[in-house]
Amino acid sequence: MTTPKSVLSLLAIAASLAACSPDPESSFARGQEAFAQHDYRTARVALIAGLRERPEDGDMLAMLAQTQIALGDGEGAVVSLDRLSALGDDRPEHAILRGEAEILRGRYEEATNAVEGLDLAGADRIRALSLLASGEIDAAAEAFATGESRSTPDARLLASYSRFELARGDKERAANLAAQALRADDTSIDAYLASALVSRSRSKLPAALRSYEKALGLHPANFEARLGKAQVLVEMEDFQSAKPLVGELAKEAPENRSIELLRAKLAAREEDWAKVRDILQRYEPEMDESPGLRLAYGEAQLELGYPVQSLALLQPMLNANQAQRELRLLVARAHLASGNAREALDTIELVAIRPDARAEELTLASEAAKALGSPKAAEYRTRAGEITPQWVGGELAKADQALRNRQWESAEASYEAILDRGSARNAMVLNNLAYAKSRLGKKEEALKLALEAVEASPENASILDTAGTLLVETGSRERGVSMLEKAAALEPDNARIARRLAAARKP
C-alpha cells in the first residue's frame, strides 16, 4: 500500500506532538503537580511565576520548555531552551527538547542539527519525524528502526513508529510496535493513542475505546484522545454518550472538520438532513480533501431531494472505489431519483447479480428495471425475498462483527434481516438477536426471542445463559436461576456464566 508523503507526515508529526490542556490555575505550588497531571496550562503559569523569582533555575526552565512543547508552543520552548543553554546546561535530554520545539516551528533541518551525534532513541524519533516532514520516507523508516533497536526501549519512539507503520498499511507491525510501547511504559499516553489507532484499523472498537479511556485517565484534557473516543462512540452507535462529548469538542474547536463530521453523523442519525447540509455546506470547496465529509454531504443532498447535486459529489467517489457497496447503493438511488433509470440499473446491477445481493440492492434493481420496462424487474423482486447461502454468510459475518463491536442497532438489523428472509429460525441467530435487543433496552422482545432459542436448542449453555439472565432481569427470578444453573452445569469452567449465576442467586 502506498500512502502520500504529506499524509504520512501529518499523521506522524501532528499526532505525535499534539496535546491539549485544561483550564489554567496560577499557583506556583501546583507547578510540578500540574505538569505530572498533564495540566499544562496550570503548569506554565506556575513555572513562569516561579521563574520571575528564580530566573536561573535550570530545572524549572527545562520543565517550562517541556510544558510549552506539550502546548504546541515551539517558539516559547526555544526561548526557554536558549535561556537554559546560556546557563551552560546542555544535557542530551535538553537537545531532544530543542529538536521537538524546532519540529513544532516547522524547522526540520534545525531539529536534526539539535540532536546530531546523540545515540538515543529520543534523538532517533526527532530525526525520523524531521525526515518524514521532508518527504524522505525510507530514511525515516531507517531512523525509526534504529530507535527501536536501542537497548533501552523508548515508548514515544515506539508509538510514533507504530503510527508510521499504520500509515504505510502494515497493521501487524503497527500492532507489535504499539504493544512494545506499552510494555516500555504503561503510563505513556502516546502508547495508548497508538494502540487505539491500531485497534480502530482492525475494527476492534471496544479495544480502541479502552485505550482512549486509558489515555484520558492519564490526561483528561487531551484533545486527540477525546476526539478519538467521540469517533469510536459514534461508530459503536452509542450516540447518547457521544453527543455531549462532541458538543464540548465543537465549542473548543469549531473549525475542526473531524468534529463537524461527527456533528453531521449525529444529525443524520436523527434524520435531520437539513442540519447535516447546514453543518457541512461551508466545507463544500474542501470536499475533495475529506471523503467522509463528501459522503455525508452527498447523502444529505439526496435525502433532501437534490439527486443531481448528490451525484456530483458521490459519482466520482464511486468511480475511484468500485468496491464500496453502500456508496454504490446511494449513487444508484440518486440516478433513479434524477430520472435516469438506465444509469441506476447499470450501477446497482453489478451487485444485484451476485448471489450475496442484499434485499435493498435487489429492490432498487427491480425498481430501476421496472422503470425501463425490463422483464428483469420481476426476477429481482422475487430474489429480494429469497435467501442464499452466500447472503446468509455475509450477513452473519456483518452481524457478528457488529455484536463484537457493541453496535447493537446494526447487529439487530442484520439478525432480523436473516430471520425475515429465511424460513428456518436458527437458535444462535435468535439468541444473538435477543442479546442485541436486550442491550437496546427491548427486554420483553429479547426475552421472547431468547426463550424461542432455548426451545430450539435446550442444551446450549450460551443460549441458556442469555435466556436465564433475561428472565431474572424481567422478574422471573426463580426460572432464570434454574436456567443459569443448567448453563453452569453444561459449562462448569465458564467464568462468565458462573458470575451471572452468583449475581442472580443474591437476594
Is 226 domain-assigned?
Answer: no
Judgement on whether residues 13 and 51 belong to the same structural domain of the protein: yes
Judgement on whether residues 48 and 158 belong to the same structural domain of the protein: yes
- The residue that leads in pLDDT, 5 or 252, is 252
Is residue 94 within 8 Å of residue 81, measured between CB atoms? Answer: yes
pLDDT at residue 293 is higher than 90: yes
121 alpha-carbon distance from chain centroid: 29
Question: What are 440-459's pLDDT values in tens digits?
Answer: 999 999 999 999 999 999 99
pLDDT at residue 506 is higher than 90: no
Q: Which residue has the cell 520548555?
A: 65
Judgement on whether residues 314 and 198 belong to the same structural domain of the protein: no
pLDDT at residue 9 is higher than 70: no
Question: What are 455-494's pLDDT values in tens digits?
Answer: 999 999 999 999 999 999 999 999 999 999 999 999 999 9
Is 238 domain-assigned?
Answer: no
* Residue 298 half-sphere exposure toward CB, CA atoms < 13 A: 28
Comparing 201-210, 265-274, 278-287, 307-316, the range with the smallest average pLDDT is 278-287
Judgement on whether residues 188 and 120 belong to the same structural domain of the protein: yes
The CATH number assigned to the domain holding 426 equals 1.25.40.10
Write down the pTM of the prediction. 0.83
* Beta-carbon count within 10 A of 237 CB: 19
Helix, strand, coil percentages for the chain (3-state, nearest 5): 75, 0, 25
Judgement on whether residues 332 and 463 belong to the same structural domain of the protein: no
* pLDDT, position 30: 62
pLDDT at residue 11 is higher than 50: no
pLDDT at residue 16 is higher than 60: no
Is 288 domain-assigned?
Answer: no
Is 496 domain-assigned?
Answer: yes
The boundaries of the domain holding residue 160 are 5-217
Question: What are 318-335's pLDDT values in tens digits?
Answer: 999 999 999 999 999 999
Question: What are 20-49's pLDDT values in tens digits?
Answer: 433 333 334 567 788 877 778 888 888 888
Burial of 360 (0-12, 13-18, 19+ CB in 10 A): middle
Residues 61-88 have a mean pLDDT of 92
Question: What are 189-207's pLDDT values in tens digits?
Answer: 999 999 999 999 999 999 9
In the three-class reduction of DSSP (H, G, I as helix; E, B as strand; rest coil), residue 28 is classed as helix
Please tell me the distance from the alpha carbon of residue 489 to that of residue 492, in angstroms, as a whole number: 5
Domain-terminating residue out of 173, 195, 217: 217
Judgement on whether residues 376 and 487 belong to the same structural domain of the protein: no
Residues 6+ apart with CB under 8 A from 234: 242, 246, 262, 265, 266
Domain-terminating residue out of 191, 217, 243: 217
